[in-house]
Amino acid sequence: MIQLRTLGGLDLRDPDGRGELHAVLVQPKRLAVLVYLALADSHPFRRRDTLVTLFWPELDGDHARGSLRQALRFLRGELGPDVLISRGEEEIGVNREALRCDATEFDLACEADDWRRAIEIYRGDLLDGVFISDISPAFEHWLEDERGRLRRRAAAAAWSLVGAAEQVGDLMAAAPLARRAVELSPDDEAAVRRLMRILDRKGDRAGALSAYEVFRLRLAAEFGAVPSPETEALLEAIRSREVQIWQSPLSGWPPPGQPR
Protein backbone atom coordinates (compact mmCIF):
# COMPACT_ATOMS: atom_id res chain seq x y z
CA MET A 1 0.00 0.00 0.00
CA ILE A 2 1.35 3.42 -0.98
CA GLN A 3 1.80 5.77 1.98
CA LEU A 4 0.94 9.47 1.69
CA ARG A 5 1.97 11.74 4.56
CA THR A 6 0.36 15.19 4.54
CA LEU A 7 0.46 16.29 8.21
CA GLY A 8 3.50 18.30 9.27
CA GLY A 9 5.07 18.06 5.84
CA LEU A 10 4.70 15.97 2.74
CA ASP A 11 5.99 12.55 1.83
CA LEU A 12 5.00 9.75 -0.52
CA ARG A 13 6.39 6.24 -0.19
CA ASP A 14 6.15 3.05 -2.16
CA PRO A 15 4.19 0.07 -0.78
CA ASP A 16 7.21 -1.10 1.22
CA GLY A 17 7.43 2.30 2.92
CA ARG A 18 11.11 2.66 2.03
CA GLY A 19 11.39 4.21 -1.41
CA GLU A 20 10.37 7.82 -1.94
CA LEU A 21 8.20 8.41 -5.00
CA HIS A 22 10.29 11.37 -6.09
CA ALA A 23 8.75 11.80 -9.54
CA VAL A 24 5.40 12.66 -7.95
CA LEU A 25 6.84 14.75 -5.10
CA VAL A 26 8.48 17.16 -7.54
CA GLN A 27 5.14 17.79 -9.28
CA PRO A 28 3.37 19.91 -6.62
CA LYS A 29 0.13 20.56 -8.50
CA ARG A 30 -0.37 16.95 -9.52
CA LEU A 31 0.51 15.89 -6.00
CA ALA A 32 -2.05 18.39 -4.68
CA VAL A 33 -4.66 16.73 -6.90
CA LEU A 34 -3.82 13.40 -5.23
CA VAL A 35 -4.06 14.95 -1.75
CA TYR A 36 -7.40 16.57 -2.56
CA LEU A 37 -8.77 13.25 -3.79
CA ALA A 38 -7.35 11.35 -0.81
CA LEU A 39 -9.02 13.70 1.68
CA ALA A 40 -12.51 13.27 0.28
CA ASP A 41 -14.58 12.21 3.28
CA SER A 42 -18.30 11.52 3.10
CA HIS A 43 -18.21 11.85 -0.68
CA PRO A 44 -15.24 9.70 -1.77
CA PHE A 45 -15.44 10.86 -5.38
CA ARG A 46 -14.70 14.33 -6.77
CA ARG A 47 -16.18 15.67 -9.99
CA ARG A 48 -13.86 16.49 -12.88
CA ASP A 49 -15.36 19.96 -13.30
CA THR A 50 -14.53 20.70 -9.64
CA LEU A 51 -10.94 19.56 -10.14
CA VAL A 52 -10.33 21.68 -13.23
CA THR A 53 -11.80 24.76 -11.51
CA LEU A 54 -9.59 24.30 -8.44
CA PHE A 55 -6.33 23.41 -10.12
CA TRP A 56 -6.34 25.06 -13.55
CA PRO A 57 -8.34 28.28 -13.10
CA GLU A 58 -6.20 30.10 -15.66
CA LEU A 59 -7.15 27.75 -18.53
CA ASP A 60 -10.30 27.54 -20.61
CA GLY A 61 -12.50 24.48 -20.23
CA ASP A 62 -10.95 22.28 -22.93
CA HIS A 63 -7.34 22.99 -21.96
CA ALA A 64 -8.12 22.59 -18.25
CA ARG A 65 -9.70 19.19 -18.86
CA GLY A 66 -6.69 18.23 -20.95
CA SER A 67 -4.38 19.18 -18.08
CA LEU A 68 -6.48 17.10 -15.69
CA ARG A 69 -6.30 14.08 -18.02
CA GLN A 70 -2.51 14.45 -18.19
CA ALA A 71 -2.28 14.73 -14.40
CA LEU A 72 -4.39 11.62 -13.84
CA ARG A 73 -2.44 9.68 -16.50
CA PHE A 74 0.82 10.71 -14.81
CA LEU A 75 -0.39 9.69 -11.34
CA ARG A 76 -1.63 6.32 -12.59
CA GLY A 77 1.69 5.74 -14.33
CA GLU A 78 3.72 6.52 -11.20
CA LEU A 79 1.44 5.03 -8.54
CA GLY A 80 -0.01 2.09 -10.43
CA PRO A 81 -3.42 1.53 -12.00
CA ASP A 82 -5.26 0.70 -8.76
CA VAL A 83 -4.79 3.93 -6.78
CA LEU A 84 -7.14 6.20 -8.74
CA ILE A 85 -10.65 4.94 -9.40
CA SER A 86 -13.55 6.31 -11.43
CA ARG A 87 -17.31 6.33 -11.11
CA GLY A 88 -18.88 6.96 -14.46
CA GLU A 89 -17.28 9.49 -16.78
CA GLU A 90 -17.17 12.48 -14.46
CA GLU A 91 -16.09 11.32 -10.98
CA ILE A 92 -12.61 10.47 -9.71
CA GLY A 93 -11.55 9.08 -6.33
CA VAL A 94 -8.79 7.30 -4.42
CA ASN A 95 -8.85 3.60 -3.64
CA ARG A 96 -8.13 3.52 0.10
CA GLU A 97 -7.12 -0.11 -0.12
CA ALA A 98 -4.23 0.94 -2.36
CA LEU A 99 -3.20 4.26 -0.77
CA ARG A 100 -2.94 5.10 2.93
CA CYS A 101 -3.21 8.80 3.84
CA ASP A 102 -2.29 9.96 7.35
CA ALA A 103 -4.97 12.70 7.41
CA THR A 104 -7.64 10.10 6.64
CA GLU A 105 -6.26 7.77 9.31
CA PHE A 106 -6.26 10.66 11.77
CA ASP A 107 -9.96 11.29 11.13
CA LEU A 108 -10.74 7.58 11.53
CA ALA A 109 -8.85 7.47 14.84
CA CYS A 110 -10.85 10.45 16.12
CA GLU A 111 -14.12 8.87 15.04
CA ALA A 112 -13.13 5.72 16.98
CA ASP A 113 -12.22 7.84 20.07
CA ASP A 114 -8.66 6.52 19.76
CA TRP A 115 -7.20 9.81 20.97
CA ARG A 116 -3.68 8.55 21.56
CA ARG A 117 -3.43 7.16 18.05
CA ALA A 118 -4.83 10.43 16.67
CA ILE A 119 -2.19 12.50 18.46
CA GLU A 120 0.55 10.15 17.27
CA ILE A 121 -0.59 10.63 13.66
CA TYR A 122 -1.02 14.40 13.83
CA ARG A 123 2.51 15.74 13.32
CA GLY A 124 1.54 19.23 12.21
CA ASP A 125 -0.53 21.28 9.79
CA LEU A 126 -1.85 19.83 6.56
CA LEU A 127 0.68 20.37 3.71
CA ASP A 128 2.82 22.47 6.05
CA GLY A 129 5.44 24.41 4.08
CA VAL A 130 4.17 23.23 0.69
CA PHE A 131 3.79 25.90 -2.00
CA ILE A 132 1.67 25.31 -5.10
CA SER A 133 1.81 27.92 -7.84
CA ASP A 134 -1.06 28.95 -10.12
CA ILE A 135 -3.68 27.55 -7.80
CA SER A 136 -7.20 28.91 -7.38
CA PRO A 137 -8.35 30.93 -4.35
CA ALA A 138 -10.99 28.24 -3.89
CA PHE A 139 -8.31 25.60 -3.33
CA GLU A 140 -6.47 27.90 -0.92
CA HIS A 141 -9.71 28.37 1.02
CA TRP A 142 -10.31 24.63 1.06
CA LEU A 143 -6.77 24.04 2.32
CA GLU A 144 -7.10 26.63 5.11
CA ASP A 145 -10.47 25.18 6.14
CA GLU A 146 -9.04 21.66 6.25
CA ARG A 147 -5.99 22.81 8.20
CA GLY A 148 -8.22 24.49 10.75
CA ARG A 149 -10.57 21.52 11.02
CA LEU A 150 -7.76 19.02 11.54
CA ARG A 151 -5.96 21.28 14.02
CA ARG A 152 -9.13 21.76 16.09
CA ARG A 153 -9.76 18.03 16.05
CA ALA A 154 -6.18 17.37 17.19
CA ALA A 155 -6.59 19.86 20.05
CA ALA A 156 -9.81 18.12 21.09
CA ALA A 157 -8.02 14.75 21.01
CA ALA A 158 -5.24 16.12 23.22
CA TRP A 159 -7.76 17.53 25.72
CA SER A 160 -9.53 14.16 25.83
CA LEU A 161 -6.24 12.57 26.85
CA VAL A 162 -5.70 15.36 29.40
CA GLY A 163 -9.09 14.62 30.94
CA ALA A 164 -8.31 10.90 31.16
CA ALA A 165 -4.97 11.61 32.84
CA GLU A 166 -6.57 14.03 35.31
CA GLN A 167 -9.20 11.45 36.26
CA VAL A 168 -6.47 9.14 37.58
CA GLY A 169 -4.47 12.01 39.09
CA ASP A 170 -1.59 11.71 36.61
CA LEU A 171 -0.60 15.36 36.27
CA MET A 172 2.82 14.37 34.91
CA ALA A 173 1.07 12.95 31.85
CA ALA A 174 -1.61 15.67 31.72
CA ALA A 175 0.82 18.62 31.61
CA PRO A 176 2.63 17.92 28.30
CA LEU A 177 -0.65 16.95 26.65
CA ALA A 178 -2.21 20.23 27.80
CA ARG A 179 0.79 22.11 26.42
CA ARG A 180 0.30 20.33 23.10
CA ALA A 181 -3.39 21.22 23.08
CA VAL A 182 -2.61 24.90 23.68
CA GLU A 183 -0.01 24.86 20.90
CA LEU A 184 -2.75 23.62 18.58
CA SER A 185 -5.22 26.32 19.68
CA PRO A 186 -3.05 29.22 20.89
CA ASP A 187 -5.91 31.75 20.76
CA ASP A 188 -8.16 29.72 23.07
CA GLU A 189 -7.93 31.62 26.35
CA ALA A 190 -9.94 29.05 28.29
CA ALA A 191 -7.45 26.41 27.16
CA VAL A 192 -4.55 28.56 28.39
CA ARG A 193 -6.22 28.89 31.79
CA ARG A 194 -6.70 25.14 31.97
CA LEU A 195 -3.02 24.62 31.21
CA MET A 196 -2.09 27.15 33.89
CA ARG A 197 -4.23 25.34 36.47
CA ILE A 198 -2.74 21.95 35.60
CA LEU A 199 0.80 23.28 35.89
CA ASP A 200 -0.08 25.03 39.16
CA ARG A 201 -1.56 21.85 40.63
CA LYS A 202 1.51 19.94 39.47
CA GLY A 203 3.68 22.39 41.39
CA ASP A 204 5.16 23.98 38.28
CA ARG A 205 4.17 27.55 39.05
CA ALA A 206 7.00 28.94 36.94
CA GLY A 207 5.58 27.00 34.01
CA ALA A 208 2.09 28.33 34.70
CA LEU A 209 3.36 31.92 34.78
CA SER A 210 5.34 31.31 31.58
CA ALA A 211 2.22 29.96 29.82
CA TYR A 212 0.39 33.13 30.78
CA GLU A 213 3.23 35.35 29.53
CA VAL A 214 3.44 33.58 26.17
CA PHE A 215 -0.30 34.07 25.75
CA ARG A 216 -0.16 37.72 26.85
CA LEU A 217 2.59 38.52 24.35
CA ARG A 218 0.71 36.72 21.56
CA LEU A 219 -2.48 38.66 22.29
CA ALA A 220 -0.60 41.95 22.24
CA ALA A 221 1.32 41.18 19.04
CA GLU A 222 -1.50 39.57 17.04
CA PHE A 223 -4.58 41.44 18.22
CA GLY A 224 -3.48 44.43 20.27
CA ALA A 225 -5.47 42.96 23.17
CA VAL A 226 -4.90 41.93 26.78
CA PRO A 227 -5.95 38.81 28.74
CA SER A 228 -9.41 38.72 30.26
CA PRO A 229 -10.06 39.58 33.93
CA GLU A 230 -10.64 35.86 34.60
CA THR A 231 -7.18 35.01 33.30
CA GLU A 232 -5.62 37.89 35.25
CA ALA A 233 -7.34 36.70 38.43
CA LEU A 234 -5.94 33.20 37.92
CA LEU A 235 -2.49 34.67 37.38
CA GLU A 236 -2.68 36.63 40.63
CA ALA A 237 -3.87 33.57 42.54
CA ILE A 238 -0.89 31.55 41.26
CA ARG A 239 1.51 34.39 42.05
CA SER A 240 0.07 34.66 45.54
CA ARG A 241 0.63 30.96 46.22
CA GLU A 242 4.16 31.23 44.85
CA VAL A 243 4.93 34.07 47.27
CA GLN A 244 3.40 32.15 50.18
CA ILE A 245 5.57 29.11 49.46
CA TRP A 246 8.63 31.30 48.96
CA GLN A 247 8.11 32.90 52.38
CA SER A 248 7.20 29.69 54.22
CA PRO A 249 9.49 28.69 57.11
CA LEU A 250 9.78 25.28 55.45
CA SER A 251 11.23 26.81 52.32
CA GLY A 252 14.55 27.73 53.89
CA TRP A 253 14.19 31.35 52.78
CA PRO A 254 14.94 33.96 53.97
CA PRO A 255 18.11 32.75 55.71
CA PRO A 256 18.04 32.61 59.52
CA GLY A 257 18.43 36.02 61.12
CA GLN A 258 16.99 37.86 58.10
CA PRO A 259 13.58 39.59 58.21
CA ARG A 260 10.69 37.67 56.71
Q: Residue 109 domain-assigned? A: yes
- End position of a domain, from candidates 97, 121, 145: 121
Task: Output the CA angle 240-246-248, nearest 5 degrees.
Answer: 100
Closest CA to 114 of 66, 67, 157: 157
Residues 105 and 213 reside in one and the same domain: no
- End position of a domain, from candidates 102, 121, 140: 121
Residues 42 and 115 reside in one and the same domain: yes
What is the number of structural domains in the chain? 2
Residues 90 and 194 reside in one and the same domain: no
Residues 190 and 112 reside in one and the same domain: no
Q: Residue 201 domain-assigned? A: yes
Q: Residue 101 domain-assigned? A: yes
Q: Residue 260 domain-assigned? A: no
- End position of a domain, from candidates 69, 91, 121: 121
Residues 98 and 8 reside in one and the same domain: yes
Domain encompassing residue 194: 186-251
pLDDT tens digits, the chain, 260 residues: what are they? 999 999 998 999 988 766 789 999 999 999 999 999 999 876 789 999 999 999 999 999 899 999 999 999 999 999 999 999 999 989 999 999 999 999 999 999 999 999 999 999 999 999 998 888 888 999 999 999 999 999 999 999 999 999 999 999 999 999 999 999 999 999 999 999 999 999 999 999 999 999 999 999 999 999 999 999 999 999 999 998 765 554 545 444 444 443 33
Q: Residue 156 domain-assigned? A: no
Q: Residue 11 domain-assigned? A: yes
- Give dist(CA 191, CA 169) in Å, integer: 19
Residues 190 and 103 reside in one and the same domain: no
Residues 116 and 224 reside in one and the same domain: no
Q: Residue 153 domain-assigned? A: no
Residues 117 and 22 reside in one and the same domain: yes
Q: What letters, b where the CB count within 10 A reaches 16 and e where it falls short, cover 75-94?
A: beebbeeebbbeeeeebbbb
Note the pLDDT tens digit of each residue in 119-161. Answer: 999 999 999 988 888 889 999 999 999 999 999 999 999 999 9
Residues 110 and 204 reside in one and the same domain: no
Residues 116 and 6 reside in one and the same domain: yes
Note the pLDDT tens digit of each residue in 26-58. Answer: 999 999 999 999 998 767 899 999 999 999 999
Q: Check which CATH number belongs to the domain holding 18 and give it.
A: 1.10.10.10
SS3 58: coil
Q: Residue 179 domain-assigned? A: no
Residues 102 and 192 reside in one and the same domain: no
